[in-house]
Structure 1
Amino acid sequence: MIRSKAYAAQNKTSGLAPFELYRREPAADDVQIEILYCGVCHSDLHTARGEWPNTLYPSVPGHEIVGRVCAVGSQVRRFKVGDLAGVGCMIDSCGHCHSCAEGEEQYCENGFTGTYNGPVFGGENTYGGYSQTIVVKESFVLQIRHAADDLARVAPLLCAGITTYSPLRHWRVGPGTTVGIVGLGGLGHMGVKIAHALGATVVLFTTSPGKIADGRRLGADEVCVSTDDAQMAAYANRVDFILDTVAVPHDLDAYLSLLKRDGTLALVGAPAAPHPAGNVFNLILKRRRIAGSLIGGIRETQEMLDFCAEHRIVSDIEVIPIDYINVAYDRMLNSDVKYRFVIDMASLADA
Structure 2
Amino acid sequence: MSVHAYGAYAGDKPLEPMEITRRAPGPHDVQIDIAYCGICHSDLHQVRAEWAGTHFPCVPGHEIVGQVSAVGAHVKGFRIGDRVGVGCIVDSCQHCEECDAGMENYCDGMVGTYNFPTADAPGWTLGGYSRQIVVHERYVLRVGHPEAQLAAVAPLLCAGITTYSPLKHWGAGPGKKVGIVGIGGLGHMGIKLAHAMGAHVVAFTTSESKREAALALGADEVVVSRDTEDMAAHTQSLDLIVNTVAAPHDLDAFLVLLKRDGAMVLVGAPATPHPSPGVFSLITRRRTLAGSMIGGIPETQEMLDFCAEHGIVADIELIRADEINAAYERMLKGEVKYRFVIDNATLAS
TM range (shorter): over 0.9
Report the equivalent of 1:115.
113
Q: Match for residue 124 of structure 1?
A: 123
Residue 3 of structure 2 corresponds to which residue in structure 1? 4
Distance 1:302 1:112 in 2: 18
- The separation in 1 between residues aligned to 2:93 and 2:248, in whole angstroms, is 33
Q: Describe the SS at the equivalent of 1:349.
A: coil
Write the distance in 2 (CA, Å) between the matches of 1:280 and 1:125.
41
Q: For residue 8 of structure 1, report the CA deviation from its aligned partner.
A: 1.1
Q: Give the letter for the 1:157 counterpart.
A: L
In structure 2, what is the equivalent of residue 320 of structure 1? 319
Letter matched to residue 328 of structure 2: Y
Q: Provide, for residues 95-130 of structure 1, a one-character-per-residue CA deviation record: whole Å limited to 9, x for no partner.
A: 111111111000003x3011100149xx93110000
Deviates more, 1:331-340 or 1:269-278: 269-278
- Where does residue 56 of structure 1 map in the other structure? 55
Name the counterpart of 2:84. Answer: 85
Which portions of structure 1, spanning 4 or more consecutive aligned residues, are displaced by more than 2 angstroms? none
* Secondary structure in 2 matching 1:86: strand
Q: CA deviation at 1:278?
A: 1.5
Shift of 1:312: 0.2
Greater mean alpha carbon deviation, residues 271-280 or residues 283-292: 271-280
Aligned-pair Cα RMSD in Å: 1.0
Distance 2:37 2:172 in 1: 29
| Alpha-carbon distance between aligned partners in 2 of 1:283 and 1:59, rounded to the nearest angstrom | 41
- How is 1:263-274 mapped onto 2 (pairs within 5 angstroms)? 263-274=262-273
1:291 counterpart SS class: strand
- Summarize deviations over 1:137-189 as a string: whole Å, max 9, x none: 10100000000000000000000000000000010111000000000000000
- Aligned partners of 1:139, 1:100: CA distance in 2, in Å? 11
What's the counterpart of residue 24 of structure 1?
Answer: 23
CA–CA separation in structure 1 for the residues paired with 2:54 and 2:190:
28
- Cα distance in 2 for residues equivalent to 1:240 and 1:52: 33
Matched AA of 1:113: V
1:297 matches 2:296: yes
Shift of 1:232: 0.4
Distance in 2 (alpha carbons) for counterparts of 1:148 and 1:239: 38
Taking the aligned partners of 2:276 and 2:164, their CA distance within structure 1 comes to 27
Provide Cα deviations, 1:187-217, integer angstroms capped at 9, x if missing partner. Answer: 0000000000000000001001000000000
User: Secondary structure, in 3 states, of the residue corresponding to 1:61?
Assistant: coil
Matching residue of 2:99: 100
- Name the % identity: 61
- In structure 2, give the amino acid aligned to 1:215: A
The number of residues matched between the two structures is: 346
308-317 or 277-286: bigger deviation: 277-286
| Aligned: 1:145 with 2:124 | no
Q: Distance in 1 between matches of 2:11 and 2:290?
A: 31
Aligned residue for 1:71? Answer: 70
Contact 1:320 1:341 in 2 (8 A): yes
Amino acid at match of 1:273: T
TM-score norm. by structure 2 comes to 0.98
Equivalence for 2:173:
174
Residues in 1 aligned to 2:94 and 2:275: alpha-carbon distance in whole angstroms: 37
Are the equivalent residues in 2 in contact too, given 1:266–1:290 (CA < 8 A)?
A: yes
Distance across 2 between alignment mates of 1:27 and 1:124: 17
Q: Can you give the 5+ residue segments of structure 1 that lack an aligned partner in the other structure?
A: none
Amino acid of the structure 2 residue aligned with 1:83:
D
Distance 1:247 1:348 in 2: 29
Give 3-state SS (helix, strand or coil) of 1:99's partner: helix
CA distance in 2, matches of 1:281, 1:118: 39
Give the Cα–Cα distance (whole angstroms) in 2 for the partners of residues 197 and 147 of structure 1: 19
Name 1:47's counterpart in structure 2.
46
DSSP 3-state at the match of 1:325: helix
Query: How far apart in 2 are the matches of 1:322 and 1:184?
Result: 25
SS at match of 1:82: coil
**2:230 is aligned with what amino acid?**
Q
Please tell me the residue identity of whatever aligns with 1:237.
Q
Aligned to 1:162: 161
Cα distance per residue 1:59-116 (max 9 Å; x no partner): 000000000110011111111111101000010000111111111000003x301110
Alignment of 1:175-194 (within 5 A): 175-194=174-193
Q: Specify the code of the residue in structure 2 equivalent to 1:103.
A: G
Partners in 1 of 2:14 and 2:105 — Cα distance? 29
Q: Would you say the 8 A contact 1:112–1:119 is kept in 2?
A: no
User: Taking structure 1 as the reference length, what is the TM-score of the superposition?
Assistant: 0.97
Distance in 2, matches of 1:60 and 1:289, equals: 37
Return the alpha-carbon distance in structure 1 between the equivalents of residues 48 and 174 of structure 2: 42
